[in-house]
Amino acid sequence: MATVTAVPGSKIRGGSFLIEERAPEEVFTPEDFSEQHLLIAQTAEEFANKEIVPNIENMEHKNFAIVRELVKKAGELGLSGVDVPEQYGGMEMDKVTSAIIADRIAKYGGFSTTWGAHTCIGTLPIVYFGTEEQKKKYLPGLASGETVGAYALSESSSGSDALNCRTQAKLSADGKHYLLNGEKMWITNAGFADLFIVFAKVSGDKFTAFIIERGFPGFSVGAEEHKMGIRGSSTCPLILNDCQVPVGNVLGEIGKGHHIAFNVLNVGRFKLGAGCVGSARNCIESAIAYAKQRKAFGKVIADFGLIREKIANMAAGIFTGEAMAYRTVGMMDAAIAQLGEQHEDMAQVRKVIDEYAVECSILKVWGSEFIDYVVDESVQIYGGYGFVEEYPAERNYRDVRVNRIFEGTNEINRLLITGFLLKRAMSGQLPLMAAIKKLMDEVLSGTSDEGEEGLLAQERKLVGTAKKIGLFAAGIATQKYMQAIQDQQEIMGAIANMTIETYAMESAVLRAQKLAAQHGEAGCAHSIAMARVYISGAMEKIESASRMVIAACAEGDMLRSQLAILRRLCKYEPFNTVALRQAIAQKVIETGKYVVA
């Protein structure tokens, strides 16, 4: 089993990045990949290039026989059983490996969607909640790819509001089956999956999960949806008409289906975030290749400043996204390692993953919106050709849009980020309120922390400033609305935006700091430049969001006073981002792809 060396000392708490400082050696980055990680990354990359990419056109036209064959081949390579325990035919590798595979396999959105639904939300409910009998029966086939899994939660009237589902389950007269009636919508892999995790309400209100085989009486699949993107994946409704499900196929406890529904989504979210970063890496490579050969006004467009600006922003984002994704799964693996002999107890592993629910939602939101930026700018670089189907930019543009809907919409995830943080603060799990009070006392008294020293001092100071601004705005909002802040969605969303950007900034700086410690600042000037470009843009977003929150919570003299404090907090010397982007673009254009060093 691949493992990550545990972070020294106590476990890092989820969300604690807002109130605690991390040292570079406390975070896991791609530079910490083991030989086994690198080998798996190479295997996944080769599989994607040799098996997925040559079959894109066939999959776009819904040749699902090829899709199933590729799922099976991925299983033969061990890529599909990474999260399945060894005793049930899986590889049982760490979460870093899970993220690596999701990252490297993301060459084509249609197959990434199929594979992600199968290996994550289609398999993990049984891994985490299945009985011994259920695990022995179903997991070996899922791990090998012989059996394809799917997950059926959404309905026409209950997407994000999953607990409002209408599908009903009633125990049969002989007590041997549950009879399910209802319809599920937008189910990935439905056209060819063998096994479905389906949610229904028992006795009208007990939200429960069931394992349904395709051949069960009363189960049928509707017509394929004609989608804007991810056309190579199957998406159909499920129709349950007195579908007979043996009582032994109840998954978990009656009435506890929400634990299953929401726990596995955390894994789906960090994998989706990693996959978005992988997609961005592919997009920048094709955009650079096109920009280097397309000529306008007597020279290639890769020489134009505004094109180079786009490419530099893509590179800076990829650097940051990698840092965030592997920092998050590294914390999970370190915490799982600290379980000791309990690391095989799936209930304990679930608790560890749930600890980082905030970070998982951050990755999902950030990754899905970053890849949207990348594909949009890719179309712009391609110009008219970017609007034509025979070029990759057009398909990528269509395929990534759904990521902001998958695994809980970004709106729901923003509310979850702020809601989870406030809930943990109120329960005492995270001393957020104490940190807010301390900051409020500091700003009102006019005192300030001493300046940073050492490697990347200015960058680290900006991260500290971002945390202060976020806490300051959150403090003002919670003082005004108290518990009722849950009803102020715009404010909750703005606090989430500040939280997301703070985590992204700190991740980028810690990664650059780690590289600088290893190679010297001169030896990793490219990485430092990418971090600086990212944090410059992030600070602008944080300042804007904080102004919005303050203006919504105060008026008159109080508003002017709080804005004056914000201006004091936001006082810093900007980086020359024009020069930084020019240097970044020069490096990646010369190389022909995103590079770290």
- In 3D space, the residue among 594, 38, 39 whose CA is nearest the CA of residue 320 turns out to be 594
If DSSP codes are grouped into helix, strand and coil, which group holds residue 243?
Answer: strand
Distance CA 442, CA 88 (A): 56
Instruction: Copy the structure tokens of residue 452.
Output: 């940073």
CA angle 591, 501, 418 (to 5 degrees): 145
Are 43 and 105 in contact, with CB atoms under 8 Å apart? no
Where do the H-state alpha helices sit in 446-524? 457-481, 489-519
Rg of the chain over Cα atoms, rounded to whole angstroms, equals 24
CB neighbour class for 61 (10 Å; exposed up to 12, middle 13-18, buried from 19): exposed
Strand partners, 250: 210
Beta-bridge mates of residue 244: 179
Q: Which of 155, 160, 190 is nearest to 404 (CA)?
A: 160
Q: Considering 407, 459, 501, 506, which one is annotated as catalytic?
A: 407
What is the number of other CB atoms lying within 10 angstroms of the CB of residue 305? 10
What's the rounded Cα separation, in Å, for the pair 386 and 377?
10
Q: Side-chain half-sphere of 577: how many Cα atoms within 13 Å?
A: 19
Distance, in Å, from the CA atom of 125 to the CA atom of 31, rounded to the nearest integer, reads: 32
Cα distance between the two ends of the chain: 30
Is 407 catalytic? The answer is yes
Cα separation, 197 vs 149, whole angstroms: 8
CA dist 309 and 520 (Å) reads: 26
Q: So which residues are the catalytic ones?
A: 407
